[in-house]
Chain A
């Protein structure tokens, strides 16, 4: 088996005296797609945010590409490799094209290359028609697709998607799932927190189940098992 892209051990999270997460080990492999299921309030969002370095937790080791990273400045180390997309993505108050371009500007990519990549990403997500529109004029499905395009354009090694199809109508859901499927096929490692059976049943999807604050043995959905100790 190849070395994991991400390996986190001894992950614990508490809010006051209440323990939310207690996960001895979680491993994610490069190029694989994972779905994280669990009841509402089971800590899926918290886990994703912790893995993205956006929320603090007690962690013994955080290894990315076989390298143990300093926990105090975790986000600084993984900021170009790991992207977390919120359930209701926030789009900056500018045009959609500028939203998609944001991460490239942060990475100081030259303007001509940025323009080409943004154009490709707009096509990829099917949001070309709204490229110069302000976010407030977009539907929920379009916002989600823009958020996915904004993520995909950066080609991160790990994408963490939080309930990407929640509150979307049938057509928007189908479009979003199609994009997620494309993203999974493009060799990104994707971890998706959701209850959506259409995502869970995607080909080669590995299932992680969060219950009682820890990752459980995968359910009997017939899909390939996740790498969980």
Chain B
């Protein structure tokens, strides 16, 4: 392998607008951002609820969610594969080896990340924030949104982490998507499989894209995150 030559080829692929390469990037972004967009509102509300309400079984739910953080993505893929395969209970949906199956898998993976981080962020909020909002006439929903805005640094961190986890995960995407060219082939499955075939240029190019995506999205979202730190 000539690392220098492969890297040069990688840049050529990227900047020549290689259709296949950019198609793979598009699949990755579409799947991960869709999964994140569907799950984020639900997870943030659930995280806020678990952080602020006391009820029987709450502690158990929190422990299970924290446990799911370290759940191997390949196991999530395996469970969903069994559910979605033709003989499985959801086989009639014909979702296996489609982008929808990949989205479903990534939703399962990102959900505990967002819930756990939101719980942590909201529990760290100053309890006076909610009372002050209520005291100034805010409705309960408005006061909750105000608290979430106050802890936006933590909530945004949850979203960064969640995105980072799913954009780069390979296990579930491979099992549920099947790495079908032009349909379910995404960045991590391509890197894993193309590299094993000796195709380094595409892998390096996609590696650069992953890094650029991670940095770019973080810079963009950081604008909404605020400064954080001790007040």
Contact = CB atoms under 8 A, between A and B. Distances in A.
Given A90-B129, A92-B146, A106-B142, A83 B135 contact: yes
A92 B150 contact: yes
B134 A54 contact: yes
Contacts of B226: 93
B136 A103 contact: yes
A135 interface: yes
Given A106-B142, A135-B231, A136-B231, A92 B129 contact: yes
A145 interface: no
B135 A54 contact: yes
B131 A106 contact: no
Interface string A134-158: 0110000000000000110010000
B197 interface: no
Given A86-B131, A92-B129, A93-B226, A106 B231 contact: no
Contact of A106 (B126, B128, B138, B149): B138
Please tell me the size bucket of the interface on A.
Answer: 20 to 34
Interface in B114-157: 126, 128-129, 131-139, 142, 146, 149-150
B28 to A, nearest CB: 34
Interface string A63-105: 0000000000001100110011110111011000000001100
Interface of B: 126, 128-129, 131-139, 142, 146, 149-150, 226, 231
30 contacts: A54-B131, A54-B135, A75-B134, A76-B139, A79-B137, A79-B138, A79-B139, A80-B137, A84-B135, A85-B135, A86-B132, A86-B135, A89-B128, A89-B132, A90-B129, A90-B132, A93-B231, A102-B136, A103-B136, A103-B137, A106-B133, A106-B137, A106-B138, A106-B139, A107-B137, A135-B231, A136-B231, A150-B136, A154-B136, A154-B137
Nearest 6 interchain pairs by C-beta: A90-B128, A103-B136, A90-B132, A136-B231, A79-B137, A84-B135
